[in-house]
Amino acid sequence: NLISSERLNNRLKVVEEDLNAEGLVTAEKWRDPQKMNHNIAAQIKFRFFYYQTYP
């Protein structure tokens, strides 16, 4: 099912804040996936779908 771009952006913001809080990824790495390792990319995917239940 499709979600609005606003909800999408909110969800990405939450995931980014979580990862930054845990020191897993810097803003620079977040913006450039090529610099991420696979573990961090997997974390982002997992959390992104996990947060589908967010309003």
- pLDDT for position 31: 63
Residue 38 vs residues 6, 33, 43, 50, 51: alpha-carbon distances, Å: 27, 9, 9, 18, 20
More confident site: 9 or 36: 9
Is the model's pLDDT at 23 over the cut of 70?
no
pLDDT tens sequence across 24-41: 666 566 666 666 666 677
| CB-based contact 40:19 (threshold 8 Å) | yes
pTM score > 0.75 for this model?
no
Rounded Cα–Cα distance for residues 25 and 42 (Å)? 12
More confident site: 10 or 40: 10
Is the model's pLDDT at 45 over the cut of 60?
yes
